[in-house]
Structure 1
Amino acid sequence: MRFPFARVVSLVVAVALLLSAVSGFFALFTARWRVASLPGTQQVANHTFTEQIIVGEYRTCVTLRRETPATNDSDVVQVRREENCYNTFPVNLFWSSRLRDVSTGEKAYFIGVCWINRDRVARVLGIPEDVPMQSLWKRQCFGVRSASVGTQAVAAAMAVIGGAVLIFDRNDKERPYRGMILIAGLTAALSLVPLVIWFGVVKKPGFDVGPSLRLAGFTWGIHLASFLALTLLHFCHSRSEMARYSGPPIDREVVTTQTADRLTPTQARAGQAAEGFARLESQA
């Protein structure tokens, strides 16, 4: 079975939108949006050094390196790495995180970062004092994090809807409706919001772009390409329909003639008499 070109393009765009929904949700729920790679020489506790800090929409994780000093029996220093993660924005306000203090080893429960002493949490996690972690958390608490998460969720849902409609809702002309172009454009606009937030607002010196942020940028690229493809397809189809029409131009004379054909005999005779009377007056 041979499919029209417009139908093939619509199916390709539909598959791309469905894949973008998967990548968008994956980027949303991973914690590697911003990554700070430290030299590993900053000691935050006894024989404990911080190597990496990752920040996401929901969590902040710190990679620690713990060294066991050499003993009289062995000159080898044993190295052990562990990750200390904190749920900065739990779904439930009372959903706390159990953290172990890197200095004392004691465990304690902490709620969301917007309702707690951020300096204390940074010390417990093992974040060095020269890392502007508290300021980054503060910016996330100003509402930009809610805007980022909300727009990502809505964009992923709209991508699923758009992909499903393009696959199952076929029409006579085998081309996307204008409503699908609007959905694709709105999806691209929404998926751009978290990129603006993480590149322009939630950024601090020392924090580089992480894999999750790159994946979000890739998702936005798919949405933008889908919108442009549907717009171009609709434009080309409209131009081809206009070029295919080769009938006579519609003017007043044609309309008058067609209207006269629908007159009754009595109306036609009255009209002819009026035309003859007008002709005699013009000759006089």
Structure 2
Amino acid sequence: MTPADYEYLRKLLKERSGLDLSADKQYLVESRLVPLARKSGLPGIPELVAKMKSGAEPLIAEVVEAMTTNETFFFRDKVPFDHLKDAVLPALVQARAARRSLRIWCAAASTGQEPYSIAMVCKEFAAELSGWRIEIVATDISLGVLEKARAGIFSQFEVQRGLPIQLLVRHFRQVGELWQLNADIRAMVQHRQLNLLQDFSHFGTFDVIFCRNVLIYFDQDTKLGVFNRLARAIEPDGTLALGAAESIVGITEAFKPWPDRRGLYRPNLARDARAALKLVAAAG
């Protein structure tokens, strides 16, 4: 792979997916794209890049998908799901008592373990949420992982990563050497394709947003853009959950940390109030 080919791929991946590759990640690109080139009947990456430059859009989509990291597992990092069960959902049960509905969005949901973990937590509130409308939306840029997520079928290795045995017994059935989620849990989650770099205002607003372990791959400006769009997609008293290695610090004032709840954030209404006062003063 020539330096020019690598720069072309770096720029394309950042524009299409937000992935910000450093200058020393050629080995990663080669390990993921050489197999794709061969599958496409091409000798190597130079020929792959040449075909991409000719406007082969399906191939470009395959390249972006091949470079997307889909590492995930059930109840990953555990703490955000404990917060969801112990603090977030109990508060929302009271705050939404008149509306009797909840909307939860799991962004960059990969093969489904995270949104299904959220669904299993919500299932524990079956009595409190009886008669409520619970909507869990799972999105990802990759159609391939969304297809796997919809099926809800996981290997023995996948169900052993983070999933408590009691939940495996309660919510799954064994199919040969695989495990399939029961239909009631699968029915709680809607799967849709979405690129976080694009406008998602058509999704409406959510009470809870999980956007975990994806922003670490973006540069500061891209993160800021995503945070600003998330701020418009969350209810004023909603909750944003980020990954263990992610933070709003030094990036945005659109959110503020939830006290004593690591990884959770709330809309910063004080910032919005200051912005409104400035607009009034300017119009004054």
Q: TM-score, normalised by structure 2?
A: 0.24
Structure 1 or 2, whichever has the larger Rg, is 1
Q: TM-score, normalised by structure 1?
A: 0.24
Q: Which has the higher helix share?
A: 1
